[in-house]
Amino acid sequence: MKTVAVIGAGVAGPTVAMALQLAGFEPVVYESHPSGSEGVGAFVILHVNGIDALRAIGADKCLDGLGFDTPQMRFRSGTGRSLGVAGTGLPLADGTVGRTIRRADLCGALRDEALRRGIDFEYGRRLADVSGVDGGVVAVFEDGARHEADLLVGADGIKSRVRALIDPAAPPARYIPNLYISGYARAGVVDVPPGEYQMVFGRRCFFGYTVAPGGEVWWFANPPYPDEPSQNELRELGDAHWRATLADLLGVDPGPAGKIVEATDHELVAWPFHDIPTVSRWHRDRMIIIGDAAHATSPAAGQGASMAIEDSVELGRCLRDLPDARQAFRAYEGLRRERVERVVATGAKWSTFKSVGPVARMIRDMIMPVMLKYYAGDGGASLGWMHHHHIEWDERVPAGPRGIV
């Protein structure tokens, strides 16, 4: 049986390992962190296309009991006026809708499901380098460990080491001048319909929130931050700084944002926003990158995790059906590149709506109700290309024109 070294145990790592195992490979997942708990505070929306892709490999049930359904978003102006609603994708045939879930819970559930299927994980292994061997690849880790495999999949996220090893000239991630701060506030701070996000284009800061069953408020803010900071710089600024910043930025709007931040009793941490519009080389020899490593998207699209899952399933199909890695990787790229780059471009466009000057704000607040009415009127079909993407696991990947082999 062919072996695969999967680098990274975030969203794509455990998922691609499961897809590869079903495709007849023997994967081992190597993760740099001692446990898989990076980014504990953040939560993500898993859209129906991501859930559907997990279902293709029989892994969607691992999400049962985690997070909560969030089928709808209501957009509001800084004054609190409703600009309209948008769905998070039409429900799947059995009624499944988009779900909000803590990122750490999502990664943990995928890892536990992969472990249950007998896949091995090694934590505390940071990939440093690779070297070729006859018919395979050797992963070299910072601690000096070396592991040989037939193939290597880089699922190592936005700062991917594998991307740089495939192509040292690969572009770095692009900074989008907003930060992301999220939190969980005490129950009972606001009264809004369950399952509906409130997305507020505040005058000085975008603010989104939704209420979990039980009343806890899950929120995030995107304060503008023009120059790219390092993660250390943001960490050093610390909780008190972020509370004061948010109180100042959100205090000019009439909504409950300020009250929600005040009712949050854990430490606030800020993250920079990045995307990668295009990475020209996804694979070389026996190595390939997937997920954020290949095409990180701004969180505004809410599709990063779902794209990582779709990638994983498609790579499994291609490696199952095509006779060698070269053909499989090219077929995979043929299936994925256009779609993921369209998602990244859409996310970048939506990000720009978040922090605009007074004139653009007026125009945005006039245009959005019309746009949202249009999306609602066609039942979400105009965004169907994004949300209603179905992968049929049992369908053979042709070695034909789509696959460019």
Ligand X SMILES: Cc1cc2nc3c(=O)[nH]c(=O)nc-3n(C[C@H](O)[C@H](O)[C@H](O)COP(=O)(O)OP(=O)(O)OC[C@H]3O[C@@H](n4cnc5c(N)ncnc54)[C@H](O)[C@@H]3O)c2cc1C
Residues 284-313 that bind ligand X (CB under 6 A): 291-293, 299, 302-306, 308
Stretch that binds ligand X, among 151-159, 348-356, 362-370, 371-379 (CB under 6 A): 151-159
Please choose, from the candidates 380, 360, 359, 358, the residue with its C-alpha nearest in 3D space to the C-alpha of residue 371. 380
Stretch that binds ligand X, among 4-12, 80-88, 321-329, 374-382 (CB under 6 A): 4-12
DSSP letter at 401 equals G
CB of 106 to ligand X, least distance (A): 8
* Residue among 19, 51, 56, 127 that touches ligand X (CB under 6 A): 127
Q: Which residue number, 76 or 125, has a Cβ lying nearer to ligand X?
A: 125
* Residue among 2, 26, 28, 42 that touches ligand X (CB under 6 A): 42
Using CB under 6 A as the binding rule, whether residue 103 contacts ligand X is answered as yes
Cβ(149)–Cβ(5) below 8 Å: yes
Backbone angles phi, psi at 217, to 5 degrees: -95, 125
Site size for ligand X, by CB under 6 A? 35
- What residues does 121 pair with on adjacent strands? 29
CB of 16 to ligand X, least distance (A): 9
Contacts of 18 (CB under 8 A, 6+ apart): 57, 59, 110, 113, 114, 117, 119, 312, 316
Stretch that binds ligand X, among 32-40, 170-178, 340-348, 382-390 (CB under 6 A): 32-40
* Residue among 31, 52, 113, 253 that touches ligand X (CB under 6 A): 31
Stretch that binds ligand X, among 55-63, 80-88, 149-157, 226-234 (CB under 6 A): 149-157
Question: 3-class SS at 16?
Answer: helix
Using CB under 6 A as the binding rule, whether residue 98 contacts ligand X is answered as no
Strands 26-31 and 120-123 turn out to be: parallel
DSSP letter at 111 equals H
Using CB under 6 A as the binding rule, whether residue 67 contacts ligand X is answered as no
Cβ(13)–Cβ(6) below 8 Å: yes
Stretch that binds ligand X, among 18-26, 35-43, 67-75, 323-331 (CB under 6 A): 35-43
Cβ(10)–Cβ(154) below 8 Å: no
Q: Any idea of the CA torsion for 102, 106, 108, 112, to the nearest 10 degrees?
A: 150
Stretch that binds ligand X, among 25-33, 71-79, 205-213, 245-253 (CB under 6 A): 25-33
CB of 355 to ligand X, least distance (A): 16
Please choose, from the candidates 13, 17, 78, 337, the residue with its C-alpha nearest in 3D space to the C-alpha of residue 3. 17
Using CB under 6 A as the binding rule, whether residue 126 contacts ligand X is answered as yes
CB of 100 to ligand X, least distance (A): 8
Please choose, from the candidates 293, 295, 237, the residue with its C-alpha nearest in 3D space to the C-alpha of residue 268. 237
Q: Which residue number, 45 or 322, has a Cβ lying nearer to ligand X?
A: 45
C-alpha angle with apex 31: 390 to 173, nearest 5 degrees? 65
DSSP letter at 93 equals T
Q: Which residue number, 45 or 335, has a Cβ lying nearer to ligand X?
A: 45
* Radius of gyration of the chain measured on its C-alpha atoms: 21
* Residue among 156, 275, 310, 314 that touches ligand X (CB under 6 A): 156
Cβ(321)–Cβ(395) below 8 Å: no
Using CB under 6 A as the binding rule, whether residue 8 contacts ligand X is answered as yes
CB of 297 to ligand X, least distance (A): 7
262-281 footprint of ligand X as x/- string (CB under 6 A): ---------x----------
Cβ(189)–Cβ(259) below 8 Å: yes
Using CB under 6 A as the binding rule, whether residue 209 contacts ligand X is answered as no
Cβ(261)–Cβ(223) below 8 Å: no
Residues 336-395 that bind ligand X (CB under 6 A): none
Task: Report the interface residues with ligand X, using CB under 6 A.
Answer: 7-13, 30-33, 36, 38, 42, 44-45, 103, 126-127, 155-157, 161, 180, 271, 291-293, 299, 302-306, 308
